[in-house]
């Protein structure tokens, strides 16, 4: 009797699934993600004041300048209430990030090779850590970015920000850096699915560096050069790391195909 062996390098197929079934699966995962964000937002509501005080530290560090006020100015009675709602949503998004990434992986993994689906944990962990790393860099560079922006007005301007504008600036910067630091994950994934090859990425390096700086300039909310370089330089470094990872993956895939 003939025996059949499964090829670990063959992609999984879903020939029995219709378009409607794929859409149902997508809707199910989106609903799970929405519930996770809602649960995280509820926790974010309780964590608002610790996060609030943490995000104030870059501003407090500048209070040695007599023109910089380390207290916020509220001109709308509802401003802090709506700010707390927005902050809770962002905190919930961050808390739910590992679960969201896991759902994303479960949705796209059927198109990968069987021996590549074991990278699920590495994908979720690396993407989460990269997001936190990007957010952390944005947080620690905000003080220098504010110094640069305040130097534009000199000593003739008194800087007292509203809570909403200051906190949303730092939150947008942290989200922008966190998303920008997902760049190597995207590049590695494109190599896994065969859209690009490490050789093509190497040949495209000069153009990629220019594109990286342009994208960093666009997505950086503060539009200052300090934040620009703090985001663009790590992305260039990640580009090189992604090429190395792609080469390793292609070599392993070639060996597995020969062995099969």
pLDDT at 18: 65
Residue 172, domain member (yes or no): yes
For the stretch 57-81, pLDDT in tens is 888 888 778 888 888 888 888 888 9
Residue 14, domain member (yes or no): no
Residue 4, domain member (yes or no): no
pLDDT band at 11 (very low <50, low <70, confident <90, very high): very low
Domain that holds residue 96: 19-259
Structural domains of the chain, count: 1
Residue 9, domain member (yes or no): no
Query: pTM to 2 decimals?
Result: 0.78
User: Residue 14 above 50 pLDDT?
Assistant: no
Q: What percent of the chain has pLDDT over 90?
A: 28
For the stretch 157-173, pLDDT in tens is 888 888 888 998 888 89
Residue 46, domain member (yes or no): yes
Segment among 76-80, 120-124, 188-192 with least mean pLDDT: 120-124
Residue 75, domain member (yes or no): yes
User: Residue 220 above 80 pLDDT?
Assistant: yes
Residue 127, domain member (yes or no): yes
Residue 109, domain member (yes or no): yes
In SS3 terms, the chain reads as CCCCCCCCCCECCCCCCCHHHHHHHHHHHHHHHHHHHHHHHHHHHHCHHHHHHHHHHHHHCCCCCCCECCCCCCCCCCHHHHHHHHHHHHHHHHHCHHHHHHHHHHHHHHHCEHHHHHHHHHHHHHHHHHHHHHHHHHHHHHHHHHHHHHHCCHHHCCECCCHHHHHHHHHHHHHHHHHHCCHHHHHHHHHHCCCCCHHHHHHCHHHHHHHHHHHHHHHCCCCCHHHHHHHHHHHHHHHHHHHHHHHHHHHHHHHHHHHC
């Amino acid at each position: 009797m003939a025996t059949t062996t499964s090829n670990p390098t063959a992609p999984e197929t879903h020939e029995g699934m219709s378009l409607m079934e794929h859409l149902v699966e997508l809707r199910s995962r989106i609903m799970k993600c929405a519930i996770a964000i809602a649960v995280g937002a509820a926790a974010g509501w309780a964590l608002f004041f610790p996060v609030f005080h943490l995000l104030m530290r870059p501003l407090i560090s500048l209070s040695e300048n007599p023109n910089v006020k380390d207290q916020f100015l509220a001109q709308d009675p509802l401003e802090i209430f709506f700010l707390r709602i927005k902050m809770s949503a962002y905190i919930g998004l961050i808390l739910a990030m590992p679960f969201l990434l896991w759902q994303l992986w479960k949705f796209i993994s059927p198109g990968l090779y069987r021996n590549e689906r074991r990278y699920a944990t590495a994908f979720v962990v690396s993407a989460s850590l990269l997001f936190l790393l990007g957010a952390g860099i944005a947080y620690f560079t905000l003080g220098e970015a504010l110094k640069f922006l305040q130097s534009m007005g000199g000593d003739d301007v008194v800087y007292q920000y509203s809570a909403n504008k200051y906190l949303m600036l730092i939150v947008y910067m942290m989200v922008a850096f966190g998303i920008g630091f997902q760049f190597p994950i995207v590049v590695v994934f494109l190599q896994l699915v065969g859209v690009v090859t490490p050789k093509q990425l190497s040949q495209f390096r000069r153009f990629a560096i220019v594109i990286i700086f342009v994208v960093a300039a666009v997505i950086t909310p503060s539009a200052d050069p300090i934040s620009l370089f703090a985001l663009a330089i790590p992305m260039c470094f990640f580009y090189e790391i992604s090429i190395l990872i792609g080469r390793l993956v292609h070599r392993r895939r070639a060996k597995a195909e020969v062995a099969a």
